[in-house]
Amino acid sequence: MGDDGKQELRGLRDAIDGLDRRILDLLNERAGLVLRVGKVKTRAGRTFYVPGREEEVLRRLEEGNPGPFPTGAIRAVWKEILSASLSLEHPLAVAYLGPEATFTHQACRKQFGLSAELRPVRTIAEVFDVVEKGKAHHGVIPIENTTEGVVSYALDMFLHSELKITGEVYLRISHSLLNRSGVQEDVARIYSHPQGLAQCRRWLEEHFPDTPQFDTSSTAQAAKVAAEDPQAAAVAGELAGALYGLKTVEARIEDNPNNYTRFLVIGREIPDRTGRDKTSLLFAVKDEVGALHRMLQPFDRHGVNLTKIESRPMKRRAWEYAFFIDCEGHMSDDAVAEALRELEPSCQFLKVLGSYPKAGTAG
């Protein structure tokens, strides 16, 4: 590079350094306003974390981005800004199905950013318990996977809990085969959570047909085992590999490239309407001919789109079922409210589990 090129490069770098200082100044100015907002909320007794407001900010920025900064990166950058800002107002405690470095942990980081106080617990029931007792503001649990289907136990928890669904997170699940050396020939045993092994079944059968597989309580636990045993390998995410100092034997070994898990955020209050929402319901009907068909008619009459329906046994008597439904819209929307009003008299019971901002599937 000639002298002119070096001088031009130096000038451009100096300009970038100046912009970075301006960005930092603006972030601190924004933080000062956030602290003032926190004081107003405290005086008014209002909640600090408002998912609808956060989604409104993110959507407005994405829609108004003129480029060339990639629109796809805006959400990740501002999530961290919002997370750090919220920690100035009030530290946000979030319980999740642990341990650290699981995919649920990654979903927490995606939803709440790195400044939230993320607390791993051992079971889905414990996530509910911690939030119900006020020891955490929110909880995050897996609810369904595009390959392996619904997490039945998580659905069953809503039959008895009064907690609400306050948000959802979609996370692309990518598994790697990890061990201490990164060498395929060193793999004598493979460990993972049963769903991790199931999601990579065809790849494992093709490349390790005779290698014994062992279940662990989580993909992170599998990574811990592999870190302690030179002949063991783990099917886990890269975050778990980084935490335990493992190397990659093979990346992206999941059978389905569109392998996503949906996680639910649970809390005590239903968020306000954002205009792009989803409502989740739980209801039971009498066991008689045409009962479910009649339950679905109010949604059809009022033009409410159903995006999911799942049945679960009530466990009190044989052949009694509860139905979980996701529909588009907020419970305060006229169409959804009317459909619920018509539905309720025909139900043995009806619970609105939550209305919350609808998540995208990217990332």
Catalytic residues: 261, 263
The full 3-state SS of the chain, as one line of letters, equals CCHHHHHHHHHHHHHHHHHHHHHHHHHHHHHHHHHHHHHHHHHHCCCCCCHHHHHHHHHHHHHHCCCCCCHHHHHHHHHHHHHHHHHHHCCCEEEEECCCCCHHHHHHHHHHCCCCEEEEECCHHHHHHHHHCCCCCEEEEEEEECCCEECHHHHHHCCCCCCEEEEEEEEECCCEEEECCCCHHHCCEEEECHHHHHHCHHHHHHHCCCCCEEECCCHHHHHHHHHHCCCEEEEECHHHHHHCCCEEEECCCCCCCCCEEEEEEEECCCCCCCCCEEEEEEEECCCCCCHHHHHHHHHHHCCCCEEEEEEEECCCCCCCEEEEEEEECCCCCHHHHHHHHHHHHHCCEEEEEEEEECCCCCC
Enter the tokens of residue 98: 């642990």
Do residues 295 and 347 lie in contact, with contact meaning Cβ atoms separated by under 8 Å? Answer: yes
Which tokens sit at 77? Answer: 């950058």
Q: How far is CA 105 from CA 8, 119, 208, 309, in A?
A: 44, 9, 29, 27
* The residue count for the chain: 363
CB 219 within 8 A of CB 103: yes
Which burial class, exposed, middle or buried, applies to 209 when counting CB atoms under 10 A from its CB (0-12, 13-18, 19+)? exposed
